Structure 1
Amino acid sequence: MKIHEWEPFLRTWSAERDAAGRTGDPARPPFGRLGFDPAAPEAIAALETRLGAPLPPSYRAFLEVTDGWRWAGEFVELLAPAAEVGLLREMTASAHEELTLWEAEDLDEAAYEDGEEEDEGEDGDEEGEREEYESARWNRAVQISLAGDQTWLLLDPGDIGADGEWAAYRYSSWSGSGPVRHGSFADLMRAEYAGFRALRIPGAAS
């Protein structure tokens, strides 16, 4: 999405979230705007310096419209402003460990299906080897959400499409289904918006 596409999309999301929040209680004060003022060019430049790479187009355009976002879907309460975006392994060590373990288990399963024997620790416990596993993907993952129901939104600067977009993930530790990959930040936000509408707006089209 470009700037001119983000603005109507986010305005619609804000209005629908506000209306859904007042269903059955017309006297409730308006939920209000979900977004914030645009990120300053200096803040975006500083983020790119910290990450050591230009931001993907749809995420950069989003920050140029709003420096963060409230209620991205139903389980993410706050997307971070540019100044608070950072590496997952430094911001939320527990989620980093969970995702690393998930990836290691996937590799174990793939090896088993290929007919390879699983590595075991000294006591016959495969966890002995898994504890030392490091994931390049989750070590470099960028956390762009700050608060949520054990749910995190992430970008992968090592998985870049021909259009310059980074792969984006939503991970909910309670889901039991692992991280969900999207081709871009814009695709991730569209999915979060669709999830909000499915839960909050009766009869909404997907």
Structure 2
Amino acid sequence: MNANQWQQFLKRYSLELLADNSEIEVDEEVYQSQWMGYEPATETQIVEAEKRLGISLPNSLRNFYLVTNGWRETGYFIYDILPVEKIDWLRIRDSHLYGIAFKAEKRQDIPDNY
């Protein structure tokens, strides 16, 4: 998705989430703005994350962050999407889950930077 497509989709999604889900707990200002996102990430923030991770983010993800630097609840089982400065490899963010995931796959050939 390009940034314009993300913007349109996320605006619609915000409206649907706030209208349909009374279980979402957000500040009154979020209800007033009808926007579940945040301020956009800067190009500098994105480039710094890419350097830290040692990769280029996929274009669609870069464009997402250029529209909003993270996301509040999705209304389902994902409670938030991290801001670009907090994203990291699963093995670093949650080494226990990383171990479970790859033990279940019985894979021994996972590269260290995965």
TM-score range, shorter chain: 0.7 to 0.9
Given the alignment of the two structures, is residue 5 of structure 1 paired with residue 42 of structure 2, yes or no?
A: no
Runs of 5+ unmatched residues, structure 1: 24-28, 108-132, 142-206
Query: Structure 1-normalised TM-score?
Result: 0.48
Query: In the alignment, is the contact (CA less than 8 A) between 2:69 and 2:83 conserved in 1?
Result: yes
Q: CA deviation at 1:63?
A: 0.3
**CA distance, structure 2, for counterparts of residue 22 and residue 73 of structure 1:** 10
- Give 2:110's match in structure 1, choosing from 124, 135, 139: 135
Partner of 1:186: none
Q: 1:73 and 1:134, CA in 2 relative to 1: closer, same or farther beyond 3 A? A: farther
Q: CA deviation at 1:76?
A: 0.8
Query: In the alignment, is the contact (CA less than 8 A) between 1:39 and 1:65 conserved in 2?
Result: yes
1:1-206 matches, cutoff 5 A: 1-22=1-22, 30=31, 32-72=34-74, 74-104=76-106, 133=108, 135-136=110-111, 139-141=112-114
**Taking every aligned residue pair, what percent have the same amino acid on both sides?**
29
**CA distance, structure 2, for counterparts of residue 73 and residue 96 of structure 1:** 25
Query: Structure 2-normalised TM-score?
Result: 0.83
Query: In the alignment, is the contact (CA less than 8 A) between 2:70 and 2:82 conserved in 1?
Result: yes
- State the AA in 2 paired with 1:14: S
**CA distance, structure 1, for counterparts of residue 57 and residue 3 of structure 2:** 14
Q: Counting strand residues as a fraction of each chain, which structure ranks higher?
A: 1
**CA distance, structure 1, for counterparts of residue 113 and residue 104 of structure 2:** 16
Q: Deviations over 1:130-168 (max 9, x none)?
A: xxx3523xx434xxxxxxxxxxxxxxxxxxxxxxxxxxx
Query: In the alignment, is the contact (CA less than 8 A) between 2:17 and 2:74 conserved in 1?
Result: no
Using CA pairs under 8 Å that are at least 6 residues apart, name the structure with larger relative contact order, 1 or 2. Answer: 2
Q: CA deviation at 1:22?
A: 4.0
Question: Secondary structure of the residue that 1:69 maps to in structure 2?
Answer: coil
**CA distance, structure 2, for counterparts of residue 134 and residue 97 of structure 1:** 13
Partner of 1:168: none
Runs of 5+ unmatched residues, structure 2: none
Larger radius of gyration: 1
**CA distance, structure 1, for counterparts of residue 98 and residue 61 of structure 2:** 22
Root-mean-square deviation over aligned CA pairs: 2.1
Query: In the alignment, is the contact (CA less than 8 A) between 1:100 and 1:134 conserved in 2?
Result: no
Q: Counting helix residues as a fraction of each chain, which structure ranks higher?
A: 2
